[in-house]
């Protein structure tokens, strides 16, 4: 006869702990909770989104969620929570789980600010590429998506021997080139950080061969970045209270850009709406779903503001995903949200 295991306080605590949901599970909102509204400025928006589309919170409780990317391989969305140096995964039917920690700062010394990864992308080889605030570099996760590990290969870390500020967001070109922005938001002192080695905020290109080129240093706060479907236009958002704008640059044959033009100035919205120009997603027809004052602004390639997806919170970034590419995932401050749209992202 098997002897029963003696019941002890230690065993009781172990069993209680095993029964408790993890922090990630606690943050899953199941069923999703509806919030916000779709604000239509132009009837043309109704070909892209239903005015009655429901915005849903999928998970909550983050410090500052950012940089979402859809993984077809995982069937899930990955996104950063920058201050706690983490990347999370959300998957239909499974909810939220911690995917990677540390994500953007691998140093041994404690540091404050926003040290984690920010913008995320998946390259043609299926590898996770990220902007790492704390390590001040664009890097690639050395492990496969299906078996993540905090080991990274640096792609871009220095310009002419000087450390980058804190790479923020990135866009991958079909050639293998990488475009990215480099404001100092990931530094402890941000714009006033005493350890900065560059006295400007740049927009860069890394060639397929790994050569880093400064494209422009004329923007005071470059942030979100995206390429048009034909890769002939580079969009850059400026998260400046003084001049909140979205820029459009013509991409040259050598991968460089021209002097650019202001696609849309949203200072009139910034006065009484939370948020600033930040991350962007481009649909298959070239429309911008651009985070900014009030939510995600739907903007035509010509710069017309058609509608705003409003969650009521600051929205940092967004990406298309789901099996058909018609779900827009949004990192809205402490939330991960989604909304169904009528259009689809590139590659779906």
Residue 116's DSSP bridge partners are none
DSSP reduced 3-state for 293: coil
Query: What distance in Å separates the CA atoms of residue 68 and residue 62, rounded to the nearest whole number?
Result: 13
Tokens at 347, concatenated? 């590659």
Q: Which of 225, 348, 236 minimizes the C-alpha distance to 283?
A: 348
Owner of token pair 């915005």: 55
Query: What distance in Å separates the CA atoms of residue 131 and residue 187, rounded to the nearest whole number?
Result: 13
Do 198 and 159 touch, CB atoms closer than 8 A?
A: yes
For residue 40, count CB atoms less than 10 angstroms from its CB and return exposed for 0-12, middle for 13-18, buried for 19 or more.
middle
Tokens at 114, concatenated? 């926003």
Query: What distance in Å separates the CA atoms of residue 295 and residue 307, rounded to the nearest whole number?
Result: 10
Residue 66 marked in a binding site: yes
Selecting among 135, 169, 182, 278, the annotated active-site residue is 278
Angle at 235 between CA 233 and CA 241, to 5 degrees: 155
Give the phi and the psi of residue 19 in degrees, each rounded to 5.
Answer: -80, -20
Angle at 328 between CA 327 and CA 330, to 5 degrees: 140
Is 285 catalytic? The answer is no
Specify the pairing of strand 152-156 against strand 137-141.
antiparallel
Residue 52 marked in a binding site: no
Q: Quick one: how far is CA 287 from the chain centroid?
A: 18
Read off the DSSP letter of residue 253: T
Structural element, H or E, at residue 58: strand 55-60
Positions at the binding site: 66, 168, 223, 278
Task: Give the active site residues.
Answer: 278
Positions at the binding site for a divalent metal cation: 66, 223, 278
Positions at the binding site for substrate: 168
């Amino acid at each position: 006869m098997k002897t029963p295991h003696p019941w002890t306080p230690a065993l009781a605590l172990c069993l209680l702990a095993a029964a408790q949901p993890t922090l990630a599970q606690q943050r899953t909102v199941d069923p999703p909770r509806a919030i916000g509204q779709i604000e239509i400025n132009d009837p043309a928006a109704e070909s892209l989104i239903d005015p009655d589309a429901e915005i849903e919170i999928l998970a909550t409780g983050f410090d500052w969620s950012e940089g979402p990317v859809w993984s077809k391989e995982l069937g899930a969305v990955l996104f950063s929570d920058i201050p706690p140096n983490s990347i999370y995964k959300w998957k239909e039917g499974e909810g939220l789980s911690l995917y990677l920690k540390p994500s953007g700062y691998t140093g041994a010394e404690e540091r404050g600010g926003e040290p984690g990864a920010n913008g995320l992308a998946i390259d043609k080889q299926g590898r996770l590429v990220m902007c790492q605030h704390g390590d001040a570099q664009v890097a690639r996760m050395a492990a496969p998506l299906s078996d993540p590990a905090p080991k990274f290969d640096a792609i871009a870390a220095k310009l002419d021997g000087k450390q980058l500020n804190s790479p923020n967001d990135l866009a991958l070109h079909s050639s293998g080139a990488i475009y990215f922005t480099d404001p100092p938001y990931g530094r402890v002192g941000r714009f006033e950080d005493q350890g900065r080695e560059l006295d400007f905020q740049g927009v860069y290109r890394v060639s397929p061969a790994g050569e880093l080129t400064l494209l422009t240093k004329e923007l005071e706060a470059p942030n979100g970045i995206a390429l048009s479907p034909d890769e002939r236009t580079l969009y850059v958002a400026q998260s400046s209270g003084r001049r909140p704008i979205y820029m459009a640059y013509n991409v040259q044959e050598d991968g460089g850009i021209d002097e650019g033009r202001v696609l849309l100035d949203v200072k009139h919205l910034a006065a009484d709406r939370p948020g600033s120009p930040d991350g962007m997603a481009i649909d298959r027809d070239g429309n911008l779903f651009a985070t900014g004052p009030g939510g995600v602004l739907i903007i035509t390639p010509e710069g017309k503001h058609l509608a705003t997806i409003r969650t009521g919170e600051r929205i940092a970034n967004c990406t298309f995903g789901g099996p058909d590419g018609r779900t827009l995932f949004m990192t809205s401050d402490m939330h991960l949200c989604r909304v169904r749209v009528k259009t689809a992202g590139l590659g779906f």
